[in-house]
Chain A
Amino acid sequence: MKKKGLLLTCVLLVLSIASISAKGDAEPASEQAAMNAPLVIAIEPDYFTFDPGYAYELYAPMVIGVVYDNLFEFTSGAAAPMPQLAESYTVSDDGLVYTFKLRKDAAFVSGNSVTATDVKFSFDRAINLKSNASALLDGVVSIDVIDDNTVSITLGKADSAFISKTTSTAYAVLDSAVVIEHGGVSDASAAQTDSAQNYLDHQSAGSGPYTLKSFTADDKLVMVRNENYWGDLPAFETIIIQDMPDENAQLLAVKAGDIDIAFNLSSDQLSQLDSIEGVQIISSTTMTMGFIMMHSDPEIGMQVSDPYVQKAIRYAVNYKELQTLIGAGTITPESFIQVGFIGSKDPIDPASQTDLTKAKDMLSKSAYPDGFSIDFRVCDLAPEGIPLTLIAEKIKSDLEKIDISINIVQETWGGGFGDAYRNRTVGFTAMYWGPDYNDPNTQLAFLPGQYVGLRAGWTADMNPALAAMYDTIVAETDNNVRTGFIEDVVTETGEDSPFIVYAQYPKYIAASSMLKGVEYSNLYRLDLAEISK
């Protein structure tokens, strides 16, 4: 009898918890009916600030892009920047002075009009904060207010990508009055005296279609529609971006219909959604590219510094199998100018690029005709969810076929690999890269003598003509001519550089099939203002 009583107590305890659970779900559901359902997006976040003067992380533009306006923007599917706050602009003959006419109907959430003073304040602040965002305004020498609606920007050197750069979050235009009120400083002392970041991380001071309502790190972010937006109002009144670091939890939540968009799914997981009604899968090619780096300095790169060894490795890598490993939608660009940028070429045929006979032939011409063993350092990063260690294992098996034995040395990015990589002391590795802004000029960092090229020991004197292309392309403001120059770079570096670009990664998004306009954006990741039901 006593045992039964004990058992009954246990059962009652479990049932009462279960009833709490059921009620917890049921009662608020009726409240929900009265609410306009928000757009709920689950991501594994990397952001921690939404202050355009500091933000640099991959997903921050998803928020900043709809909270602030820029002089120019990249609308979905557009190949070139489109005017946003700028109505028109002129460039001086020497390409150094850009004069922008601002639209007169744009206003901040506070009600203040967007003026040239706000543009000057925002850009000066971004420069003087001396943060990651400042690096994108490197070439800006001065910003001058001509009148309320006209601002001119003077560059130190002509920059053919300048208009593209103005679409990035670093160039977001802030409500100067509100930011100053909350500690914002734009003069030379900003790096030490500006204290507006905390305010801008939790509220916003922009003129975009949404305003930041709240942000709790490691939890969620809520944006509400700016009902006084000067442009077309977006469809959703509220957007919630829920931190969901685990991709399996994202999968279960999108299947259950608790979230509208799951942003960090792998290709394996997508197959589990094939049979689920009400879920659409959007697969896009990103500008994230993976590459093998072979240091050209024999003291650091050792055997892989030999140009013939570099060519042998280029032919030995099985690009087709790497594409399968990374997932459907992966492409292989010819060089470090990704497919999609002006001047790029079509993706290469991965099967024809692999040629073991040629690889062995190249190795036989090198100083190591019988093969060799070498360390392959790889860190713990995982571009688009695919660990670099997995790529390293595949490369190892490919190179074994031409008697190159690689010893994979696993390291952590934060535990020293990052420093070694940036200090140019990593000899042989696999890494990835995403553009800093939406223009092929950002990829010129891979040229000899530039900061990524130098990580591979590729100094300007090793190929002076190619190194000189950097200044030529950056200064060339005629886009047709620039495109030709970039094509030349692709041709020249496709088979002859210390970098082997093995893939341009895909991105998979699972979204409710009720949604329209869900599209991966290279600049914003998702253009939230374009999504509707």
Chain B
Amino acid sequence: MGTLIFTIKRLAYLILLLFGVATCVFFISKMVPGDAVSAYLSPRSLANPDIVAAFKEKWGLNDSLWVQYLNYMTNLVKLDLGVSIRTGNPVVEELGRSYPATMELAFFSILFASIMGILFGIVSATKRNSFIDQWLRAISVTGVSIPSFWFAIIVLFIFYSKLGWAPGIGRLSLRVSPPEHISGMYVLDGLLTGNIIAVKDALAHLILPAIVLGSFTMGLITRTTRSSLLETLSSDYIRTARAKGLTDRGIMVVHAFGNAAIPVLTVIGVGFGNLLGGMVVVEKIFAWPGVGQFAYQSVLGLDFPAIIGVSLLIAVNYAVINLIIDLLYGVIDPRVRVSR
């Protein structure tokens, strides 16, 4: 019951959060010096008052700021994010097209980061100050500090261009048709429709961008897992467990990792949110048709309805991920449930 009330409260906060984000982004968008009229109309068109007037009329730019705001918020309540000036399509439709690509890449990135990060963190903690610990710490520092645009080019050069082990850019090879659209995530849709060729090709295309994107979070998870485990392993109850003759594996699995997992879970959650909202560079290099690319092109084109739409989507991502992480805390550590 407590968890249900907690969830309902958080969802109510989410509505307030979205209202705040929409309001802030709307007014900030209107305050920036750029003008959509200049951004979209050619010099020749700008010299024609009829064309300028028609453009303003079409996009409601003749209305006062408050009327524009009220119109926007009224539509938002109806889940209508407006129409993208750049593409002429509803923003909801554009986000529906690009979000599954981003979600799929973010999921595999966080999967890679979590598996490798936790593994490295455990090995590093159990082999503290050993040669292997030094190596894994070096890998984690590299993962955190390597610039993604450079790393992306390097992995493409080595594994795609030189060795030919991985396919190049995009979500699928040009000769492979996308699976029937269900979720927009090719691996999932391929599995659901039995299109194994698409599944394999999509997975192959995910490897390099997922590694590039996940390397930063992997480094963080490695470091967090290591430090959290080291703290836990030095606890009195672990010493007691050792004194009772439990094996290292038993101590790690049954006693240590569960208690060390909360900070790791937090890092995974924050990392996943960051991946969903911050993959512009990697999407550009890998020509990944996701939200990052859509946001980048929208910002360049001063496509304000699209910019606000992307901002709201990112806010929802963070809020939902945080909620899920908070609920998982309770699953991992019963004390969190009690304190709610």
Residues of chain A touching chain B, judged by Cβ–Cβ distance below 8 Å, are 2, 6, 10, 13, 17-18, 20-25, 27-29, 31-32, 35, 38, 40, 48-49, 54, 56, 130-132, 134-136, 138, 191-192, 197-198, 201, 216-220, 240, 242-246, 248-249, 252-253, 255-256, 258, 412, 414-416, 418-419, 422, 436, 445, 451-452
Contacts of B205 in A (CB 8 A): 24
Indicate if the CB atoms of B207 and A17 lie closer than 8 Å.
Answer: yes
Give the distance in Å from the alpha carbon of A135 to the alpha carbon of B173 in the complex: 40
B236 within 8 A of A: no
Indicate if the CB atoms of A191 and B58 lie closer than 8 Å.
Answer: yes
**Extra inter-chain contacts (11) besides given A130-B55, A246-B285, A412-B34, CB under 8 Å:** A28-B175, A132-B51, A217-B94, A218-B98, A242-B287, A243-B287, A246-B169, A248-B156, A255-B161, A419-B34, A422-B38
Contacts of B98 in A (CB 8 A): 218
Partner of B97 from A25, A56, A216 at Cβ < 8 Å: A216
B334 within 8 A of A: no
Give the distance in Å from the alpha carbon of A454 to the alpha carbon of B286 in the complex: 43
Give the distance in Å from the alpha carbon of A256 to the alpha carbon of B174 in the complex: 14
* Max chain A Cβ within 10 angstroms of own Cβ: one of B38, B86, B173: B38
Partner of A28 from B34, B166, B197, B299 at Cβ < 8 Å: B197
B235 within 8 A of A: no
Indicate if the CB atoms of B46 and A248 lie closer than 8 Å.
Answer: no
Known: A242-B174, A246-B287. A422 touches B43 (CB 8 A): yes
Indicate if the CB atoms of B45 and A134 lie closer than 8 Å.
Answer: yes
Partner of A191 from B57, B115, B161, B170 at Cβ < 8 Å: B57
Q: Write the nearest CB–CB distance from A455 to chain B, whole angstroms.
A: 9
Contacts of B337 in A (CB 8 A): none
Indicate if the CB atoms of B200 and A20 lie closer than 8 Å.
Answer: yes
Give the distance in Å from the alpha carbon of A415 to the alpha carbon of B42 in the complex: 17
Indicate if the CB atoms of A436 and B44 lie closer than 8 Å.
Answer: yes
- The range of chain B's interface size is 35 or more
Give the distance in Å from the alpha carbon of A201 to the alpha carbon of B89 in the complex: 10
Contacts of B173 in A (CB 8 A): 24-25, 28
Contacts of B45 in A (CB 8 A): 56, 131-132, 134-135
Known: A20-B200, A20-B203, A201-B88. A418 touches B39 (CB 8 A): yes
Indicate if the CB atoms of B94 and A252 lie closer than 8 Å.
Answer: no
Give the distance in Å from the alpha carbon of A244 to the alpha carbon of B293 in the complex: 11
Task: Report B1-50 residues with CB < 8 Å from chain A CB.
Answer: 32-35, 38-48, 50
Indicate if the CB atoms of A49 and B88 lie closer than 8 Å.
Answer: yes
Q: Write the nearest CB–CB distance from B280 to chain A, whole angstroms.
A: 10
Indicate if the CB atoms of A451 and B89 lie closer than 8 Å.
Answer: no
B74 within 8 A of A: no
Contacts of A29 in B (CB 8 A): 175
Indicate if the CB atoms of A419 and B38 lie closer than 8 Å.
Answer: yes
Give the distance in Å from the alpha carbon of A35 to the alpha carbon of B177 in the complex: 13
Q: Write the nearest CB–CB distance from A448 to chain B, whole angstroms.
A: 15
Chain A: interface secondary structure?
helix
Contacts of B43 in A (CB 8 A): 422, 445, 451-452
Give the distance in Å from the alpha carbon of A258 to the alpha carbon of B156 in the complex: 13
* In the complex, residue of chain A having the shortest beta-carbon distance to the beta carbon of B293: A218
Indicate if the CB atoms of A192 and B197 lie closer than 8 Å.
Answer: no
Contacts of B167 in A (CB 8 A): 21, 24-25
Partner of A243 from B34, B47, B289 at Cβ < 8 Å: B289
Q: Write the nearest CB–CB distance from B201 to chain A, whole angstroms.
A: 4
Known: A27-B200, A28-B201. A414 touches B42 (CB 8 A): no
Known: A414-B39, A418-B39. A49 touches B87 (CB 8 A): yes
Closest 5 CB pairs of A and B: A416-B33, A24-B204, A130-B54, A219-B289, A24-B200
B165 within 8 A of A: yes
Indicate if the CB atoms of A249 and B169 lie closer than 8 Å.
Answer: yes
B310 within 8 A of A: no
Indicate if the CB atoms of A246 and B88 lie closer than 8 Å.
Answer: no
Give the distance in Å from the alpha carbon of A27 to the alpha carbon of B32 in the complex: 51
B302 within 8 A of A: yes
What per-residue 1/0 map shows which CB atoms of B53-92 lie under 8 Å from chain A?
1110110000000000000000000000000001111000
B301 within 8 A of A: yes
Indicate if the CB atoms of A258 and B88 lie closer than 8 Å.
Answer: no
B284 within 8 A of A: yes
Indicate if the CB atoms of B175 and A252 lie closer than 8 Å.
Answer: no
Give the distance in Å from the alpha carbon of A219 to the alpha carbon of B101 in the complex: 11
* In the complex, residue of chain A having the shortest beta-carbon distance to the beta carbon of B39: A414
Indicate if the CB atoms of A27 and B197 lie closer than 8 Å.
Answer: yes
What per-residue 1/0 map shows which CB atoms of B135-165 lie under 8 Å from chain A?
0000000000000000001001100110011
Partner of B34 from A49, A244, A416 at Cβ < 8 Å: A416
* In the complex, residue of chain B having the shortest beta-carbon distance to the beta carbon of A251: B161
Contacts of B202 in A (CB 8 A): 24
Indicate if the CB atoms of A256 and B42 lie closer than 8 Å.
Answer: no
Task: Report B290-340 residues with CB < 8 Å from chain A CB.
Answer: 290, 293-294, 297, 299-302
Indicate if the CB atoms of B169 and A244 lie closer than 8 Å.
Answer: yes
Partner of B41 from A35, A132, A256 at Cβ < 8 Å: A132
Indicate if the CB atoms of A242 and B170 lie closer than 8 Å.
Answer: yes
Known: A132-B45, A135-B45, A192-B57. A253 touches B197 (CB 8 A): no
